[in-house]
Chains A and B, each alone.
Chain A
Amino acid sequence: MKHTLAVLVENHPGVLSRVSGLFARRGYNITSLVVSETEDSSISRMTIVVDGDERIIEQVTKQLNKLIDVIKVNDVTNEDTVNRQLLLVRVNADNSAKGEIAQLMDIFRARIVDIGRKSLIVEATGDEEKIQAIIRSLQPFGIQEIVKAGIISMVRGPK
């Protein structure tokens, strides 16, 4: 099962290498990894999606916790979170298809951010399911290229 780990780390060079090295060395599977500075510039936040059974996730969490530069590891898989992924797709689009794609993208609240002679670039954000749905809907037109950012995740505030 996929788990999402929110990992606070020291923001200095080498930290990413230590974390990715740990995953490589112990054979854990990273599905996605995003690093960004937090509201405190000395601390970065890694959102790591990792695939494995309970025992592997327990080990991943504990091994991460052992790293000196790791401040806190939080498994947010079972928490109520907002998850987002960013997608860019360049899709075939002759003049007749452009309108159709634009309408389709409206449904997903995705945006067309570049228009070429025979193609469009679509930008979208959403959770993993929505991003998959957008990609599927664009496939019939002929996808030229896809770029996705890793998943970021935030626990919802108390209601």
Chain B
Amino acid sequence: MLGAELLLKSLEEQGVELVFGIPGGSVIPLYDVLKKSSIKHILTKHEQGAAHAADGYARVTGKPGVCFATSGPGGTNLITGLATAQMDSSPVIAITGQVASSFIGKDSFQEADMLGLSHPVTKYSYLVRDANDIPGIVEEAFFIATQGRPGPVLIDIPKDVFTQKVTEVRNPGVRKHLLEKLKKPELDFTQVEKAVEALKKAKKPLIIVGGGVNNSEGSNRLLQDFAMKNEIPVSQTLMGKGVFPADHPLFLGMVGMHGTIEANWAMQNCDCLLAVGMRFDDRVTGRVEQFASKAKVIHVDIDAAEHNKNRASDIPIVGDSKDFLEVLCEKLWASRNNKEWLRSILIQNPVEKVNFGRGLDPEGVMNLINSLLDDDTVVVTDVGQHQMWAALFVHPKKPRSFITSGGLGTMGFGLPAAIGVQMAYPDKKVVLITGDGSLQMNLQELAVIKQWNLPIKIFLINNGSLGMVRQWQELFFQENYAETILEVGPDWEKLAGAYNIKAKTLYENRELKETLHSSMANREPWLVDIKVDPGANVFPMVPAGCSLDQMYRSWKNEAHVSSIG
């Protein structure tokens, strides 16, 4: 058996059914034996696409997503994908070919120091020096990627190790100290007790949930039970979407730079904040010194390093959100009355709608998309204005069903991630909400959609600009629209047509509903180019560096930059 065969066997043993990748010089020996394994290979058109597809697969399933790339540029093209996965705690396994051992360090053709390059953007990385070590390394890599706070792991394998004859397999198992380091932390019950007391005493309690609740299976139900029984309003970060029903009266929506008025107001006025599986990112907190400044903060996270990193917490609790919520449900199970607090939140003014009539109203488009979702639809987004509109108005109904690049904010993530999602769940409906800036960053993957006839619905929110940057230029840079207007966009119908993908362009409301409906109804890929108002901005908005109670509530009206509440 060769190293390459042993690698595939080890991946099979980890339950890997499909990988995304592109062959190249250093991985020819791996691709040479691919057919002998049960693993299905999805040929993307760029390594970045492979990494994001693996990431999409991982996010939607919770299982590691695997990608292959060759040495040098193949590996470096993965880096953005790995950094994206790292920032959002997604278990991606990247396997890169490396130049043959004797060529390492000589600036050989297509040589890049993948170990060094991967350090800051992965949870861990390996250079395999002996094929006999492969099963041990693969087992440990999967363990590391999935245990504790998940994250990407890279395995770099020199070409000669792929072709090395396996003589005596060594698998010492996962290193002992890692079993301890990455095991599920046990709750500190004195801390939990303090949290219970704080919540009992609270007059204005608020919950905020993040990606950790999405990651911890079953915690969404516990969260719902707990919040509903105790009548505590629930807000979320971008990564926390899908864990609490958006149509429930306790649901306040997203907190932060583009948070809802209710959620941000509640955050600034609550006296006790229960933060679960979130990390106080600057896009969530605004000016952190003034974030939830009246609140006693209970911070539950599986990663101890998140405590006191961005926002000091009064009651830090290291643990899995499900474990914590389970105990909380047992301990605090009395109905309570927060009617007055809830009422004070809900009377906050709604955002004034502004429609210039120069195209479709993006918020209306989002509401329509939202109405098309069934219980299992997975929504994938790219990055920018459309992402924030989707976050505010499109609400998938289950955990792991809003797939977006939150931490790194990677434009170009959406299309390949949607491919990963649809490959993982062929029967689920997958909606990609993207922008014309983002979609052009990994456009080449349209070929993959066609090749596998993935029935992804691409709803392109087309404003002919790099909209979010344009919005900042409008609001904070005296309308100096430097290089944000995409003067020449493709004819999207023709472009989709080039890949034999059905497409339609929409300029007005009349056809919108019917087109979106009919595109959703069939089992084919569709690209709908929705020409939205190019001047539309995302509101509410808290300018960067401001506290959450300094919100722009509507378009270009300085008077609205005022404290709320």
Could you list which residues of chain A lie within 8 angstroms of chain B, going by C-beta atoms? 10, 14, 17-18, 21, 25, 55, 58-59, 62-63, 65-66, 68, 71-72
The one of B116, B123, B303, B308 in contact with A17, judged by C-beta atoms closer than 8 angstroms, is B116
Name the residue of chain A whose CB is nearest to the CB of B149: A66
Residues of chain A contacted by B309 (CB below 8 angstroms): 59
Q: Are A18 and B304 in contact (CB under 8 A)?
A: no
Q: A21-B119, A68-B124 are in contact. List 15 more A-B contacts (CB 8 A).
A: A10-B175, A14-B115, A18-B119, A25-B120, A55-B308, A62-B307, A63-B305, A65-B181, A65-B304, A66-B305, A68-B123, A68-B178, A68-B181, A71-B177, A72-B177
Residues of chain A contacted by B305 (CB below 8 angstroms): 59, 62-63, 65-66
Residues of chain A contacted by B181 (CB below 8 angstroms): 65, 68
Residues of chain A contacted by B123 (CB below 8 angstroms): 68
Binary per-residue interface labels of chain B (297-310) against chain A in the complex, 1 for a CB within 8 Å, 0 otherwise: 00000011101110
Q: How far is the CB of B336 from chain A (nearest CB, A)?
A: 35
Q: Are A17 and B177 in contact (CB under 8 A)?
A: no
Count residues of B near A (Cβ-Cβ below 8 Å): 19
A21, A62, A72 — most chain B CB neighbours (10 Å): A62
Bound CA span A65–B178, Å: 11
Residues of chain A contacted by B178 (CB below 8 angstroms): 68
Name the residue of chain A whose CB is nearest to the CB of B175: A10
Residues of chain B contacted by A63 (CB below 8 angstroms): 305
Residues of chain B contacted by A59 (CB below 8 angstroms): 305, 308-309
Query: 13 interchain pairs (CB within 8 A)?
Result: A14-B127, A17-B116, A21-B119, A25-B120, A55-B312, A63-B305, A65-B181, A65-B304, A66-B303, A66-B305, A68-B124, A68-B144, A68-B181
Q: Are A21 and B308 in contact (CB under 8 A)?
A: no
Bound CA span A58–B318, Å: 14
User: Which residues of chain B (321-355) have a CB below 8 Å from chain A?
Assistant: none
Residues of chain B contacted by A68 (CB below 8 angstroms): 123-124, 144, 178, 181
Name the residue of chain B whose CB is nearest to the CB of A43: B177
The one of A21, A55, A58, A71 in contact with B120, judged by C-beta atoms closer than 8 angstroms, is A21
Residues of chain A contacted by B119 (CB below 8 angstroms): 14, 17-18, 21
Residues of chain B contacted by A66 (CB below 8 angstroms): 303, 305
Bound CA span A68–B143, Å: 11
Q: How far is the CB of B228 from chain A (nearest CB, A)?
A: 34
Residues of chain B contacted by A65 (CB below 8 angstroms): 181, 304-305
Bound CA span A66–B86, Å: 13
Q: How far is the CB of B79 from chain A (nearest CB, A)?
A: 15
Bound CA span A68–B116, Å: 15
Residues of chain B contacted by A25 (CB below 8 angstroms): 120
Name the residue of chain A whose CB is nearest to the CB of B305: A62
B120, B178, B305, B309 — most chain A CB neighbours (10 Å): B305
Name the residue of chain A whose CB is nearest to the CB of B304: A62
4 nearest CB pairs, A to B: A62-B305, A68-B124, A71-B177, A21-B119
Q: How far is the CB of B307 from chain A (nearest CB, A)?
A: 8
Residues of chain A contacted by B307 (CB below 8 angstroms): 62
Q: How far is the CB of B281 from chain A (nearest CB, A)?
A: 16
Binary per-residue interface labels of chain B (351-372) against chain A in the complex, 1 for a CB within 8 Å, 0 otherwise: 0000000000000000000000
User: Which residues of chain B (123-150) have a CB below 8 Å from chain A?
Assistant: 123-124, 127, 144
Q: How far is the CB of A57 from chain B (nearest CB, A)?
A: 11
Residues of chain B contacted by A72 (CB below 8 angstroms): 177
Residues of chain B contacted by A14 (CB below 8 angstroms): 115, 119, 127
Bound CA span A21–B175, Å: 23
Residues of chain B contacted by A58 (CB below 8 angstroms): 308
Bound CA span A59–B279, Å: 14
Q: How far is the CB of A128 from chain B (nearest CB, A)?
A: 29
Residues of chain B contacted by A21 (CB below 8 angstroms): 119-120
Q: How far is the CB of A41 from chain B (nearest CB, A)?
A: 16
Q: How far is the CB of B434 from chain A (nearest CB, A)?
A: 31
Residues of chain A contacted by B127 (CB below 8 angstroms): 14
Name the residue of chain A whose CB is nearest to the CB of B148: A66
Bound CA span A83–B497, Å: 72
Bound CA span A59–B306, Å: 9
Residues of chain B contacted by A10 (CB below 8 angstroms): 175
Residues of chain A contacted by B120 (CB below 8 angstroms): 21, 25
Name the residue of chain A whose CB is nearest to the CB of B126: A14
Q: How far is the CB of B21 from chain A (nearest CB, A)?
A: 24
Bound CA span A71–B179, Å: 11
Binary per-residue interface labels of chain B (96-120) against chain A in the complex, 1 for a CB within 8 Å, 0 otherwise: 0000000000000000000110011
Bound CA span A72–B176, Å: 12
Bound CA span A14–B115, Å: 8
Bound CA span A79–B123, Å: 32
Name the residue of chain B whose CB is nearest to the CB of A59: B309
Bound CA span A14–B116, Å: 8
Bound CA span A52–B339, Å: 46
Residues of chain B contacted by A17 (CB below 8 angstroms): 116, 119
Bound CA span A10–B178, Å: 11
Binary per-residue interface labels of chain B (279-307) against chain A in the complex, 1 for a CB within 8 Å, 0 otherwise: 00000000000000000000000011101
Q: How far is the CB of B96 from chain A (nearest CB, A)?
A: 15
Q: How far is the CB of A43 from chain B (nearest CB, A)?
A: 10
Bound CA span A30–B377, Å: 49
Bound CA span A65–B303, Å: 10
Bound CA span A67–B115, Å: 15
Q: How far is the CB of A24 from chain B (nearest CB, A)?
A: 9
Q: How far is the CB of A97 from chain B (nearest CB, A)?
A: 48
Bound CA span A59–B304, Å: 9
Bound CA span A71–B181, Å: 8
Name the residue of chain B whose CB is nearest to the CB of A42: B175
Q: How far is the CB of B412 from chain A (nearest CB, A)?
A: 24
